[in-house]
């Protein structure tokens, strides 16, 4: 079996009311769907057979027999056409994965010049191929460099027959990240040879019928996370899709994080300058935004090896920000829809490389024992010796040195690294600010879904928060390269975030402070708006009115069962419902999860 037969000819788009300006979100808890009506049995649409003893049939004269005979012949020709034309199969009630045409897929497939042996799930509904390499290992001199695509070797059929398959039954370890995905924690998890993806495909398929692809990008603030986390398990989601006759292929990826994926340094001075600090050529000693470009390389792998259309990008948090950035900067032919859960392309301001380098690269000589940047007669300092030294460090030493940046962040250790502007030069990717691109309308015109939870900010607020000054420190930490402008805005903003606990987050909890300072709820409200609610609404409002594609906006309002009350409906509370396995015994929550997961299919 070739993986190129796993994509769809068409895909159903969920029907929801448009919310272009983002002012009124649709709470998912208020949506009601009768699933028997929404997805009726295919056989229910067939007409009932007439009674063979009908007086009507007994009274037909010979002319009517000729007419009926002609209609029967035309019906026969239509049926032959229908079942010989794959483009019509999506409309055929017989073509289900449990129907007579379905065939069992071989767990050994050919892709990227290799054979891969997958594993059938316990329900025998789909096959998983885990740890499939999409790029060469980014180690040694390739540390801080853009991913190199895997070399695909052309083989004769005889060579294919002799080739032993690579076992693809175990999850890869993921890219290096803090231990237990806790920003600022001691130790690390993952390996540098991590540029791998996972593919889950229905075990049965209709010959020549193609499936859609859901391309999942995990979250973690660009510093943590991996594709093998239990909360991203697609088992229940895919099983439900198969039962609804909406099968799809699920792809999840790993990409470089933290300093390995988002280190930045300015390029050498260019002539003529476009404006102060705007790069006009590429950096020499490292590549920018390599974590995002890992994702792009994986997307190209999917297009090349699985198909050339039918991909829906879906991401959460940093993954949602990534989805939005790909919609703005990546080739539009790589995907056909975008789904952003708790994140938007403007969730973070994107700094210039010299600002980001001063923030994340220049503090490293001390903890890493590497040489400091060398000041030049003109232009930015040279980072060549520093980066050469950092490339030679063992991974454990490198991760220990970069941990100090998380330790300095009052935002619970998050946000030391994120995407940077690259400027205008041949081959640049993130050339203009996302907000500029959105206003200009220079982005992929595809259907979009955005949304989030009510209390996004509690996840990033320390329970030790006790004063307005500490709130300012948290904002300064997140935006220190633009804080001069932001500080001017804070004075009028405070009046919109009063210190009264009744107006803070978690919302709808009155004057309850959970034994904490009222400043906790104030900061949680402010950070939730800055990083999530405002960027989401900005994207919907600034999208040109002639966008030409539908967009949807949602707000999730159900607190996770067993979570701390002070967290409210926190960041990522909706994830398990999207993936079809809510951690709840509540029947209504399972109904809500069924409803939500149907939008991903």
Per-domain boundaries in the chain: 3-13+102-154+166-183+198-446
Give which of 200, 54, 179 is closest to 127, Cα–Cα: 200
Q: Looking at residue 100, what is its pLDDT?
A: 57
Burial class (CB in 10 A: 0-12, 13-18, 19+), 204: buried
Tens of pLDDT, residues 150-188: 988 889 999 999 999 999 999 999 999 988 656 556 788
Q: What is the mean pLDDT of residues 520-528?
A: 94
Tokens (6 digits) for 227: 């594709």
Res. 4: pLDDT tops 50: no
Going by pLDDT thresholds of 50, 70 and 90, the confidence category of residue 541 is confident
Active-site residue set: 317
In angstroms, rounded to a whole number, what is the distance separating the alpha carbons of residues 318 and 291?
11
Cα angle for residues 163, 169, 174 (degrees, 5° grid):
110
Confidence of residue 411 (pLDDT cuts 50, 70, 90): low
Higher local confidence (pLDDT), 483 or 486 = 486
- Is pLDDT above 80 for 476? no
Cis omega (within 30 of 0) for bond into 511: no
- Work out the percent of the chain whose per-residue pLDDT is above 70: 74
Q: What is this structure's pTM?
A: 0.81
- Average confidence score pLDDT of the chain: 79
Is the pLDDT confidence value at 258 over 50? yes
Class of domain 3-13+102-154+166-183+198-446: alpha beta
Q: What is the pLDDT of residue 546?
A: 67
In this prediction, residue 302 has a pLDDT band, given cuts at 50, 70 and 90, of very high
**Contact call for residues 382 and 507 (beta carbons, < 8 A):** no
* Mean of pLDDT values over 545-558: 86
**Where is mean pLDDT largest: 133-147, 278-292, 357-371, 378-392?**
133-147
Rounded alpha-carbon distances, angstroms, from residue 285 to 143, 266, 388, 497: 11, 9, 8, 44
pLDDT at site 415: 66
Cα(593)–Cα(576) distance, integer angstroms: 8
Strand partners, 117: 108, 167
How many percent of the chain have pLDDT more than 90?
44
Q: Which residues of 167-192 are buried (b: 16+ CB within 10 A; e: fewer)?
A: ebeebbbbbbbbeebebbbeebbbeb
Dig out the tokens for 359 from the structure. Answer: 């923030």
31 versus 367: the higher-pLDDT residue is 367
DSSP 3-state of 461: coil
Residue-wise pLDDT tens digits, 193-219: 999 999 999 988 777 778 899 999 999
Report helix angle 518-528 to 468-478, nearest 10.
30
User: What phi and psi, each to the nearest 5 degrees, are found at residue 58?
Assistant: -70, -20
- Measured CA to CA in angstroms, residue 553 lies from 311, 325, 334, 539 at distances of 20, 18, 23, 11
């Amino acid at each position: 079996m070739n993986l190129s037969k796993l994509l769809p000819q068409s895909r159903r788009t969920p029907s929801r009311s448009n919310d272009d300006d983002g002012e009124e979100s649709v709470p998912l808890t208020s949506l009601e769907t009768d699933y028997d009506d929404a997805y009726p049995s295919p056989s229910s649409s067939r007409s009932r057979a007439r009674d063979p003893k009908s007086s009507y049939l007994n009274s037909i004269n010979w002319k009517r027999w000729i007419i009926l005979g002609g209609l029967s012949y035309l019906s026969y020709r239509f049926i032959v056409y229908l079942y010989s034309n794959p483009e019509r199969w999506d409309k055929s009630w017989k073509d289900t994965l449990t129907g007579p045409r379905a065939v069992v897929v071989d767990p050994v497939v050919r892709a990227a010049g290799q054979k891969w042996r997958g594993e059938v799930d316990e329900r025998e509904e789909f096959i998983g191929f885990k740890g499939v390499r999409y790029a060469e290992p980014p180690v040694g001199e390739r540390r801080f460099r853009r991913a190199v695509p895997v070399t695909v070797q052309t083989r004769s059929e005889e060579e294919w027959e002799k080739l032993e398959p690579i076992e693809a039954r175990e999850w890869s370890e993921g890219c290096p990240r803090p231990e237990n995905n806790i920003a600022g924690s001691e130790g690390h998890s993952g390996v540098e040879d991590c540029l791998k993806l996972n593919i889950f495909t229905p075990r049965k398929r209709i010959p020549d019928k193609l499936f859609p692809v859901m391309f999942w990008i995990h979250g973690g603030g660009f510093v943590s996370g991996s594709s093998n986390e239990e909360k991203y398990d697609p088992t229940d989601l895919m099983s439900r899709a198969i039962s609804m006759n909406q099968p799809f292929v699920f792809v999840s990826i790993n990409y470089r994080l933290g300093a390995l994926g988002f280190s930045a340094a300015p390029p050498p001075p260019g002539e003529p300058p476009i404006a102060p600090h705007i790069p006009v050529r590429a950096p020499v000693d490292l590549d920018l935004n390599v974590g995002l470009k890992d994702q792009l390389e994986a997307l190209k792998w999917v297009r090349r090896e699985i198909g050339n259309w039918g991909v829906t990008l879906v991401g959460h948090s940093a993954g949602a920000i990534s989805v939005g950035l790909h919609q703005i900067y990546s080739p539009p032919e790589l995907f056909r829809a975008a789904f952003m859960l708790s994140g938007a392309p403007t969730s973070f301001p994107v700094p210039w490389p010299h600002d980001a380098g001063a923030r994340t690269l220049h503090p490293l000589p001390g903890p890493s024992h590497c040489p400091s940047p060398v000041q030049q007669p003109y232009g930015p300092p040279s980072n060549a010796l520093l980066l050469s030294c950092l490339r030679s460090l063992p991974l454990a030493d490198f991760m220990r040195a970069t941990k100090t940046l998380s330790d300095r962040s009052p935002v619970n250790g998050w946000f030391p690294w994120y995407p940077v502007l690259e400027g205008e030069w041949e081959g640049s990717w993130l050339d203009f600010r996302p907000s500029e691109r959105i206003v200009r309308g220079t982005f992929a015109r595809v259907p979009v879904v955005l949304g989030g939870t009510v209390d996004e900010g509690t996840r990033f607020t320390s329970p030790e928060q006790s004063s307005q000054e500490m709130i300012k420190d948290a904002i300064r930490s997140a935006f220190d390269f633009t804080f001069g402008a932001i500080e001017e805005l804070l004075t009028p903003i405070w009046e919109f975030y009063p210190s009264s606990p009744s107006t803070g987050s978690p919302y709808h909890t009155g004057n309850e402070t959970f034994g904490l300072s009222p400043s906790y709820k104030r900061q949680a409200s402010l950070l939730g708006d800055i990083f999530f609610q405002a960027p989401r609404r900005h994207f919907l409002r600034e999208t040109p009115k002639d966008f030409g594609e539908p967009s949807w906006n949602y707000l999730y309002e159900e607190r996770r069962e067993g979570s701390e009350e002070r967290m409210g409906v926190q960041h990522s509370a909706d994830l398990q419902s999207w993936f079809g396995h809510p951690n709840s015994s509540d029947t209504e929550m399972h109904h809500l999860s069924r409803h939500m997961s149907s939008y991903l299919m």
